[in-house]
Amino acid sequence: MPAAHRSSAQGRTASGLSLPSVPPQVAMNREFIAQNQIVERYLSGRLPLKGAQDFERYCQEHPELLDEIGLTERINAALRLLEAGGRAPPWEARQRAWWERWPVIVGTAVLALALGIVALTLWGKLTARDHSIAALQRQAAVQALDPAQSTRTVMIVPNRTAPSQRSLATIGGSTAEMADLKIDVSWSTFSAFRVTVDRAGQGRVAVLHNVLRDSSGVLHLGLNSSALGPGSYQFSIDGLTWRGEAVPQAWASIQITH
C-alpha cells in the first residue's frame, strides 16, 4: 500500500472513537493534533495512555502550543461551568455532610462512652440490689426466733379515751426477752375481749379473739420480743358482747427494740 494511502487510513482511524497510539512512523505534530482532535480527546479523558503520553511530551517540547490551543481559556470556561453547576474546584476539598464533620464524630463518641458508663453503673447497682434482696429473702425464710434470755412482767394501763402514740413500755434490747404483758381492764364491764395489734405506719400484726380477763381484771399476753421487728406497736382492746359484737374499750402503745 502506498505511503499516502497508509497516511489517509491512519487519519480516518484516528478520527474514530479511540486512538490506540501514535504509530511509530507518524510523528506527533500540529497537523496530526488538529486532524485527530487530540486536544479534545485529552481534555475529555478519551485519549489512550500512549497517545496522552505522546501529546504531553510534544507539549513539553513545544510549550507555545498551549497558547495556540487556548488552554487557559478552556480551563477558565471549565471552572465557570463547575461553579454554575454548584461543584467545587478540583483543588478544594469536598464539603463534608454534617454527620461526617469532626466535632460531630467526637461528640457522638463521647456520648456513646458516657451512655456505656451509665449503663454499666446501673447494671452493677441492679445486680447488687438483686443479690441483697435474695439474701434477705433467704434470711427471712430460715430465720428462727431467738430464745428468750429473761422473763419479766410488764404492767400496762391503757388509755380509755383515744389511741395514743406515747409508748407505755419498751420490750427487748440486745437480747430477746419474754414479756408477760398485763393489761389492766378491771374498770370495763366486759369479761371477754378482742385485742388487735398493729405496727405503726405499716399494717396489722395479729388479732386475738375471746381473750378473757382474770379475777383481778387483767388481760395476760405473753410476747417474745424477737417475734416482732423493732418499732412501735398499737394495741386496740374491744369488749365483746354476748352476740360477739366489738365495743372499743381502750388503746395502748409499746416499743420493741433489738
Asked whether residue 205 is domain-assigned, the answer is: yes
The pLDDT tens digits for 68-109 are 777 777 777 777 777 776 676 666 666 667 677 788 888 888
CATH number at residue 203: 2.60.40.2550
Asked whether residue 100 is domain-assigned, the answer is: no
Q: How far apart are CA 183 and CA 156, in angstroms?
A: 5
Range of the domain at 210: 150-257
The last residue of one of the domains, among 31, 62, 93, is 62
Which one has a higher pLDDT value, 221 or 141?
221
Asked whether residue 124 is domain-assigned, the answer is: no
Query: How many domains does the chain fold into?
Result: 2
Asked whether residue 35 is domain-assigned, the answer is: yes
The last residue of one of the domains, among 26, 41, 62, is 62
Asked whether residue 136 is domain-assigned, the answer is: no
Which one has a higher pLDDT value, 18 or 51?
51
The 3-state secondary structure of 35-91, one letter per residue: HCCHHHHHHHCCCCHHHHHHHHHHHHHCCHHHHHCCHHHHHHHHHHHHHHCCCCCCC
The last residue of one of the domains, among 62, 77, 105, is 62
Q: Reply yes or no on whether the pLDDT at 50 is more than 70.
A: yes
